Structure 1
């Protein structure tokens, strides 16, 4: 996938291990870098075989903030996060890919959005909340934000500003797990017990249907999702985003079949893969045992990718023609409802018909 050198116009230290970076977008790239709330940028650094790429959610709000902003927390041993937090300065150029991701799904009808974040998970959650509140569609938003201590809160002043500007339709709950005696708010973790305890009050805030968005460590999101499902929130109304998942070994499990939205395709030995990227078509002859992404990369197709193991969702695409088999581990990243719409991860998919057509632009 093409990368573009964008200049850091501003940086702000959020706390000891986290920084926000603003990136200037040249006029000729404004269209390429248009984005939706909850999307991410892929940042690349290094050269040759040492080049690495990592994904960071955009913490800016489209149409509301000038430039792009990512908010990055340093991870122990993280080559890219450590470089961005500790070394990148204003004026530096950073290589990034165009925005990607389908975390947020627009809602025409008003909803009560419960937005859960832990630590740096606030990065995509804050712009989603702001977007909903300023959409004029009558949404209500409840932020639930967990941290260890008050000094670890990221984007706290901006969150407070959003809540103050929409006090009739927005509240925020800060939950601290290791705060000192000076903290007077809720203590503990945003876990299953907390959600079960608070759910009735959240429901009482509004008669609107509930929708849940969450971002944070996997254990945090697993517990939250389990709680909401037990409380009767439909799975289709629960959305989660993370870049630190580890794909489990699912090779012994039966694959999931996804059928193209426009044409199911002709059964038989696969001969051709066609991919649409940036309005251009690329074609690859499939070789036995290859996933779709590998086949396309082997032929030089300029397709978006990063981890190649189903954890980052950079290679999310829409199957429009043919049929593919997807490793069941994809359900750690996508929902069954996404598969039903033809969405797949190219790195986890294998063609099952004579030809397939996959579109990286239709997401």
Structure 2
């Protein structure tokens, strides 16, 4: 997919291994880089002739920040994260794709929104939480944020400023797993036991119906989701975004069927894939054994992609005509109600009807 050079206009070290980078969007690209809270950017870099691309959640909030911000934690062996944290600087240009992702779901009424984050997972969580608080729609927000020690807290000053500005409808609970005796806040990890011990107090903080958003390591989110469901939240009220997901299925498992709402398509041998990207149409003849993304890439279609294995969400798209089969691992990223809307990941999908139409713009 096309990338655009965006200038790093400001860089700030959040802690010794994490940096926030502010990106300036030229006026002629303002429409293309309009974003929803919780979306991500794909950043590309040529590393010694090897083109690498990685996804980073926007930690800025629409309306609250005039520029885009990504907050990047350096991971061991991570070529892109190391470059962004240690080398990229103010005045440099990053090659960036337009925002993508469907982590945040619009709320049609005031809710109490429980925001759980661990480490760098605070980036999309803060984006969503701040947007909700400043939308004046009657939401209350509880942030529960886990780190090792106080000096590893990311975006700490901004979180404190948000809590002060929205006192009465915003609570922040920091949880430290390795803090010393001088730490007076909560100790431990945001695991099943912690959630079970604190859920009643979170729920009592507001009479509004509760929904939950979480971002962090898979183990943290698996544990949190199980605890929240045991406490009474439905699966549809829990939303998660992963930075380290490994797809947990195989291609021999029965797939899930997704049907376009307005045009279920004509039965017959799959033949043609039509894709809409950036307002343009691409067409590919499907070949046995291919997923939809692979077929489009074979035809040099300018579709968004990165991992090609269902873990990054770059190829999220909407089926607008026909029927497809999707590997069940898609439910680690999307929910069943997403599939009911026609959303899918192209790299995990294959056509079931003679023609399908898939839209990478309508997400």
Task: Settle same-fold status: TM greater than 0.5.
Answer: yes
Quote the Cα distance in structure 2 between the aligned partners of 1:158 and 1:93.
25
For 2:173, the equivalent position in structure 1 comes to 173
Task: Give runs of aligned pairs for residues 1-363 of structure 1, distance below 5 A.
Answer: 1-46=1-46, 50-363=50-363
- C-alpha deviation, 1:68, in angstroms: 0.5
SS of the aligned residue for 1:295 comes to helix
- C-alpha deviation, 1:243, in angstroms: 2.5
Quote the Cα distance in structure 2 between the aligned partners of 1:235 and 1:99.
26
Quote the Cα distance in structure 2 between the aligned partners of 1:195 and 1:178.
18
Whether the aligned pair in 2 keeps the contact of 1:108 and 1:137 (CA below 8 Å) is no
SS of the aligned residue for 2:186 comes to coil
- C-alpha deviation, 1:48, in angstroms: 9.0
- C-alpha deviation, 1:101, in angstroms: 0.3
Relative distance call for 1:47 and 1:17 in structure 2 (3 A) is closer
Quote the Cα distance in structure 2 between the aligned partners of 1:300 and 1:160.
47
Give the root-mean-square deviation of aligned CA atoms: 1.0
Relative distance call for 1:45 and 1:359 in structure 2 (3 A) is same
Quote the Cα distance in structure 2 between the aligned partners of 1:320 and 1:305.
19
Quote the Cα distance in structure 2 between the aligned partners of 1:28 and 1:193.
50
Quote the Cα distance in structure 2 between the aligned partners of 1:273 and 1:54.
27
Whether the aligned pair in 2 keeps the contact of 1:5 and 1:95 (CA below 8 Å) is yes
- C-alpha deviation, 1:54, in angstroms: 0.4
Whether the aligned pair in 1 keeps the contact of 2:249 and 2:328 (CA below 8 Å) is no
Quote the Cα distance in structure 2 between the aligned partners of 1:83 and 1:49.
15
Structure 2: runs of 5+ lacking an equivalent: none
- C-alpha deviation, 1:247, in angstroms: 1.2
SS of the aligned residue for 1:311 comes to coil
- C-alpha deviation, 1:343, in angstroms: 0.5
Structure 1: runs of 5+ lacking an equivalent: none
Q: Once the two structures are superposed, what CA deviation does each residue of 1:201-241 show, in whole Å capped at 9, x if it has no partner?
A: 11111110000000000000000000001111011010000
SS of the aligned residue for 1:45 comes to strand
Q: Once the two structures are superposed, what CA deviation does each residue of 1:123-165 show, in whole Å capped at 9, x if it has no partner?
A: 0111211111111111000000000000000000100000000
- C-alpha deviation, 1:249, in angstroms: 4.0
SS of the aligned residue for 1:290 comes to coil
Whether the aligned pair in 1 keeps the contact of 2:5 and 2:94 (CA below 8 Å) is yes
SS of the aligned residue for 2:187 comes to coil
Quote the Cα distance in structure 2 between the aligned partners of 1:206 and 1:243.
30
TM-score relative to the length of structure 1:
0.99
SS of the aligned residue for 2:76 comes to coil
Q: Once the two structures are superposed, what CA deviation does each residue of 1:52-111 show, in whole Å capped at 9, x if it has no partner?
A: 110000001111111100000001000100000000010001101000000001112000
- C-alpha deviation, 1:290, in angstroms: 0.6
Structure 1 residue ranges (4+ consecutive) displaced by more than 6 angstroms after TM superposition? none
TM-score relative to the length of structure 2:
0.99
Relative distance call for 1:49 and 1:269 in structure 2 (3 A) is farther
Relative distance call for 1:142 and 1:53 in structure 2 (3 A) is same
Q: Which moved more, 1:25-34 or 1:44-53?
A: 44-53
Quote the Cα distance in structure 2 between the aligned partners of 1:348 and 1:190.
31
Q: Which moved more, 1:43-52 or 1:31-40?
A: 43-52
